[in-house]
Amino acid sequence: MATQYKLKDITKLSLKNGQKQEAEVEGIEGGKVLLVKAQDGLHAMSPNCTHYGAPLVKGIVTGDGRITCPWHGACFKIATGDVEDAPALDPLAKFKVEEKEDGVYITGEESVIKAGRCKGTIKCSVKPNEAEHTIIVGAGGGAQGAIEELRIGGYTGKITVIGREPYLPIDRTKLSKALITDLKAIQWRPEEFYKEGNVDMITGETVSSVDFDAKKVSTEGGKSFNYTKLILASGGLPKFLPMEGLNGKDLGNVFQLRGLGDVQEIMKAAGEDGGKKVVVIGSSFIGMEAGNALAGKKHDVTIIGMEEEPMERVMGKKVGAIFRKILEKNGVKFKLSAGVEKGLPSKSDSSKIGAVTLKDGTELPADLVIEGVGIRPSTDYLKDNSKITLEKDGSVKVDEKFQLPGVKDVYAIGDIATYPYHGPSGAGKPVRIEHWDVAQNAGRSVARTIISPSAPPKSFIPVFWSALGGQLRYCGHTPQGFDDVVIQGETDVSEGKQSFVAYYTKGEEVVAVASLMKDPYMAQSAELMRRGKMPTKGELQKGVEILEISVPAEVRI
């Protein structure tokens, strides 16, 4: 039952538009709420993001009535608490707030105030409309975003999800960042959640073909399903190097890192006592995260990269060098500007890897090898389809609404989709972005189009994050490249106090922003980018502080 509670040390409601204040709730141990003034309305809501618990008092309030998480860019509608942007799934709880003579009060249930969120639900009160059937191929972040947005948005048709992995959708980002092996710790929703929403979750089944004329999906297991709307969200497939000993066939203890099973096998080979010699091939984000996590478990880790600095293609040499030094402090060794020749069998067990040989003759001992050398779009089931032509990389080209041109009622999202990018310097250039956040936002966008076909496509800026000895945030994209990086803050890692913002520029335009331990700069930048209000390179160099720029209501992308 809802009860009225007084807020501690809050005597009156005096916030201005855009201002926030966190307040303790008297009579509830640990109970807190966030007071927000937006669009001339005063609101009381959950104080923390429902994704990973970031304090929303440090978030960004926008002129169109949204609040953005300072960590990973999740966005909520202030008036309702509903999720607007990924990666959060659960909405914020909202509470009635009023000012009295003796102070300020909220009205709510104690359990909800303590929980700090509303329990997300897609429960259906009526049987699905059999005449409408949306099939989703794939069960990753894009699928999860589509499922939740369809049901929350009022879609009453049938929903069937066909996933090749043997489990329900998971928080895949935790695999490389933390090497978590427990399915329950990373599964987004319990089985009952989907049952209540009348969502048929088919796991461990691979789609083999799609007949766009007959509107039918077939699987390798001999099943077929008819659809009225189809969302292709089949994700990516990790690559092995096509080299002797490293192709995934010749020797054991050579791993990819994509699914839960991969992490379980890696940790089984690594053991719990540390001390194993681990070679990671690939110095981009997956390789860097996995290497850092294993070094933290006291293993001897060497990362091999083709570039002069790790993550150089995305982050540039300057920032890449900072993260190399951070990982070196954690005990990771690097072999950069290096090419891999082959893998050699172990002298004690010829069925397993024993070393990795580089093109310069260097031999790196290895008890296990992890290959983080990229993925390819999982579109084999579309290769022989006469209705579409895949892009050179195997992806599917779509429009701003993620629709396949010339194919009615079909959408593609996530790792398989090449879509027009309209962020800074994008100019509609087709891009394929392998970010969890992008996939989930695209899923939500498609769901809204299915529910309201005339609605404009969802506007969002790509966001990703990483844990590399500090909390890295990144927003934007660089389809036209970048020609300079403006770095502001502390970059010396010798004392472990690194904290900076890096602005990636093309001419005078800021096209991407990375921050390390400098929240909420990334979240603020993403909101400014959506509105075409990001300062220029010259303005930043003259001292313009982006956190002092108010975020207007109008969205321009």
Q: What tens digit of pLDDT does each residue of 226-273 get?
A: 999 999 999 999 999 999 999 999 999 999 999 999 999 999 999 999
Is the pLDDT at 125 greater than 80, yes or no?
no
C-alpha angle 288-289-291 in degrees, rounded to nearest 5: 65
Q: What is the pLDDT of residues 137-182, one digit of tens each?
A: 999 999 999 999 999 999 999 999 999 999 999 999 999 999 999 9
- Residue 32 near residue 47 (C-beta atoms within 8 A): yes
Q: For residue 45, what is the domain's CATH number?
A: 2.102.10.10
Provide the domain limits for residue 206: 129-237+377-451
For the cut 80, the answer to whether the pLDDT of residue 534 exceeds it is yes
**pLDDT, tens digit, 9 for 90 and up, residues 294-313:** 999 999 999 999 999 999 99
Asked if pLDDT for residue 126 goes beyond 80, the answer is no
In this structure, the answer to whether residues 78 and 139 fall within a common structural domain is no
12 and 67 belong to one structural domain: yes
Residues 386 and 368 in one domain: no
For residues 259 and 324, membership in a common domain is answered with yes
- Statement to judge: residues 226 and 286 lie in one domain: no
If we measure between CA atoms, which residue out of 391, 443, 393, 442 comes closest to residue 421? Answer: 442
At residue 279, the pLDDT reads 98
Same-domain status, 358 and 421: no
Claim to verify: residue 382 and residue 356 sit in the same structural domain? no
What local confidence, expressed as pLDDT, does residue 345 receive?
98
Domain boundary among 351, 373, 395: 373
- Is 229 inside a domain boundary? yes
Which of 373, 402, 422 delimits the end of a domain? Answer: 373
pLDDT at position 478 is 92
- H/E stretch holding 207 reads strand 207-211
Last residue of a domain, one of 346, 373, 400: 373
Q: What share of the chain is helix, strand, coil (3-state, %, to 5)?
A: 20, 30, 45
Is residue 499 assigned to a domain? yes
Average pLDDT over residues 211-234: 98
pLDDT band at 124 (very low <50, low <70, confident <90, very high): confident
Burial 184-222 (b: 16+ CB within 10 A, else e): eebbbbeeebbeebbbbbbeebbbebbebeebebebeee
- Cα three-residue angle 484-488-489, rounded to 5 degrees: 145
| 9 plus 69 within the same structural domain | yes
Residues 361 and 258 in one domain: yes
Predicted pLDDT of residue 557 = 78
Q: Identify whether residues 24 and 72 lie together within a single domain.
A: yes
**Measured distance CA(503)–CA(537) in Å, rounded:** 8
Is residue 423 within 8 A of residue 394, CB to CB? The reply is no
